Structure 1
Amino acid sequence: MTNMQTTPTTAADPTVAAGTAQFLTPVVLGMQALAVNGKQAHWNVRGANFIAIHELLDSVVEHAQAGADEAAERIVALGLPVDARLGTIADKTAATAVPAGFTQWQDIVRAVIADMDSVIADLQTAIDGLDEVDLTSQDIAIGLKQSIEKDRWFLVAHVAE
C-alpha cells in the first residue's frame, strides 16, 4: 500500500484567509495607487529641489511596489486571489492629490504625503483588525507601515518649517 500525502491549498482556515484579505486588500490597492501616482509625481516635479525630490520619489515608488507585493503574496499564500488591476485600484482607492501636469516640488511633496497618509490609515486599520485574525499578517502590516512612515518622514523634512 502506498502512503500518499496531499498538500493543503491554504495554510489557514477559510476564516483566517478571508479576514486577512479583508484587511490587506485595501493595503495592496492603496500601495499600488501610491506607486503609480508617485511615478506621476516623479516625472512632473519641477523647481530648485528637483533632483532630490525626483530621486526620493523613486524610493517611495519602489517601497510602495514592494509593499503591495508583500501584502498581496500574503493573501495568495492563504489561498485567496488578489485583484489589483488598474480599474479596481481606481474604483476602490481615494482620489490622488497628485496633479496631472508639471508641478512645483513643494506641491508635489505635499500631494504625495497626502496619498501616503491614506495608505498609512489603511495600514493602521489592518494592524488593528488583524490583531484578532492573523498575527503573521499583522506583522507584515506593521513592517509596511514602518517603511511608508520612514519615506513620509523624508518627504516631510523637505517642506517642514
Structure 2
Amino acid sequence: MISLPDKPGVYVLVVKVREDATVTVRSSRVFGIPRGIYLYIGSARGIGGLKSRVLRHVRGAKSMFWHIDYLLAHPSTSIAGVYYAVVGKSSDYESMLSSIMAREFNGIKGFGCSDKKKDYSHLYYCGNSLKACLYRASFLLNMGFKYVPLEPITL
C-alpha cells in the first residue's frame, strides 16, 4: 500500500503515456497528448489530504471531475510515481510549481489549470525516458518534496 500523509499538500504525478492520446474533458475541450513522460501538478486540501487525493488518482474506477481523471482513464496511461510535500492551505504552491515547470518543460496549454487562469498548464512534458525525467524533476523539486515510486499501474 502507498504510504502518504493525510495532511494537506501539493503533489506531482509522474504519468507515462505509452501512445498518443486524445482526451476530451467535461467542458468538451479536447487535448492532444503525445506519448512520453509527464509531470502533473495537483493539490490536496480536502479531507484525507495527500493520501486521499493521490489514492483517488491511482484507483481505476472513479467519477470524472478533473482533467487528470480523463487522461488517467485513457488505456495507454499509468502512474509511475508521485512527488509530494505537506504544505499549508494558505499559499498557492500549484501555481508556484507551474511557474518553475514552465521554465524547464513544455506544457499542454490549459490542461489541469482551468481554476488558475494565470497558469499556462499543470501538465508538463518531461521527455521519453523515465529515468531522465525523474532526475530532472528531482532536481527541480529539491525543496522538501519526497518521492514515492509506484508499481506501474495501468489505469
The structure richer in strand per residue is 2
Q: Relative to total residues, which structure has the larger helix share, 1 or 2?
A: 1
TM above 0.5, yes or no, is: no
- Which TM-score applies when normalising by structure 2? 0.31
- Structure showing greater radius of gyration is 1
